[in-house]
Structure 1
Amino acid sequence: MKVKYRDIFMAFFRAGLLGFGGGLSAIPLMHREVVKVYKWMGDEEFSDILALANTLPGPINTKMSGYLGYRVRGIPGMLVALVGTVVPTVILMIVFLTALNAYKDKPWVQGMSKAVVPVAGVMLGMLTWGFVKKSIEAIGWLLTMIVMAAGVVVMVVLGIHPAFLIGALLAIALLTKKDFDQKKQEHAS
């Protein structure tokens, strides 16, 4: 059964509407819509797409929605997903910036602006924990911790862009998969 354009629009509209705090805060919402609600793909595939999208330039929210829409219904699906993602942001920017500009000196507006940050942090933390659990299932606890520690060292301590780390991990995975497939064939013979 073909995915309806209305479903694509609503999935990304909800993620765009509720994704306060920047594009990254919409990723857990997108994940919920794409993986849990509509079941267009699994966690592993979503995390692969997210990893690749992080290596490319531009806003993560539109890259993810554009590709996911394309994956579900081709170019028309991509356009619908992009419109669904961008429309709430444009409308909310106009409404909220007009209101914030009018009341910017009020303490409740300043408090509201500061309160959004920890909520976005919790949403990202939940998404991260989900990916850690999936990684533990796939490669085990020890290797997951080693890769995470290496990621912290490479990105935080050495200041290297995540794209290089992701590229190195993809290369290692491709090389070890080939060795793994060869060993698997040898054991089958």
Structure 2
Amino acid sequence: MVYWQLFVAFFRIGIFGFGGGPTMVPLFHTECVKKYKWVTDDDFADNLALGNALPGPIATKLAAYIGYRVKGWKGALVANIAVVMPVVLLMIGLLQVIYRYKDAPGVYGMIQAIGPVIAVMTGVMTWEFLQKGWQGASTKTGASISLALSVLALIILDLHPGLVVGIALLFSFAYTTWSIRKRKKKDSEEGAA
């Protein structure tokens, strides 16, 4: 039964995730966190962040992670097949239709209407993650500086998002390592005293 639920949930994500990864993230959240409760909000946010830092499509990484979490390697395989299958089948079928009727007003209007829906879905998910990140931040000043530097790097300096994520990961790793070493040194000094 669980394998069937995995297949159906990820197949739905694959069917309705028009536009790729960013449009699929809210669908993943709805199916895996809200509906089936396979992962918590925090787990989802952490794995989304990690998945975005790794190369490759986010849909297959999230499907593999959540499928593995639910039913091991078989669950990961079922989830990945389910999320990819509708994309492959629809791509083959829809490309034939779109190329044949791409200039028809109805098809053109349908394609144009999807853009605002994707923007709203992505905006809502961004707002939710911003709220969770703000609430979970150890210091509001650090969170504010990180947010400001990210906006500056992405919008003003026009840096590639992958580069910004890589820099943030390196900085986070360096800061965490320094913080742990500082804490261990302090603990050892207090223990010796």
TM (normalized to structure 2)?
A: 0.83
RMSD: 2.4
Structure 1 residue 179: Cα displacement:
5.3
TM-score (norm 1): 0.85
Tell me the residue number matched to 1:159.
Answer: 159
Post-superposition offset of 1:19 = 0.8
> What is the letter of the counterpart of residue 148 of structure 1?
L
Contact 1:31 1:46 in 2 (8 A): yes
Larger mean CA deviation between 59-68 and 78-87 belongs to: 59-68
> Whole-Å Cα distance in 2 between the matches of residues 120 and 143 of structure 1?
30
The whole-number CA distance in structure 2 between the counterparts of 1:14 and 1:86 is 11
User: After the TM superposition, which of the residue ranges 108-117 and 153-162 deviates more from structure 2?
Assistant: 153-162
| Aligned counterpart, 1:79 | 77
Residue 167 of structure 1 aligns to a residue in which SS? Answer: helix
Which whole-Å CA distance do the structure 2 matches of 1:126 and 1:174 have between them? 33
Q: CA deviation at 1:56?
A: 1.2
SS at match of 1:39: coil
In the TM superposition, residue 154 of structure 1 has moved relative to its aligned partner by 3.0
Q: For residues 183 and 59 of structure 1, do their structure 2 counterparts lie closer, same or farther at Cα, with a shift above 3 Å needed? A: same
- 1:13 aligns with 11
Q: Which amino acid aligns with 1:153?
A: L
Question: Is this contact kept in 2: 1:154–1:165, CA < 8 A?
Answer: no
Task: Decide which of 22, 25, 28 is 2:23's aligned counterpart.
Answer: 25
Q: What's the CA shift for 1:141?
A: 4.9
Partner of 2:108: 110
Deviation at 1:178, TM superposition (A): 6.3
Give the letter for the 1:112 counterpart: M
Which secondary structure does the structure 2 equivalent of 1:105 belong to? coil
Tell me the distance in 1 between the aligned counterparts of 2:49 and 2:108: 34
Which residues of structure 2 form unaligned runs of 5+?
none
Secondary structure at the aligned position of 2:129 is classed as: helix
The 5-angstrom pairing of residues 56-135 of structure 1 reads: 56-135=54-133
Q: 1:32 deviation in Å?
A: 1.2
- Higher Rg: 2
Aligned residue among 45, 48, 52 for 2:46: 48
Corresponding pairs, count: 184
- The AA in structure 1 aligned to 2:39 is M
Post-superposition Cα deviations, 1:29-75, rounded to whole Å, max 9, x if no partner, equal 00111111111121111111111111111111111111221122111
Task: Give, in whole Å, the separation in 2 of the partners of 1:178 and 1:119.
Answer: 47
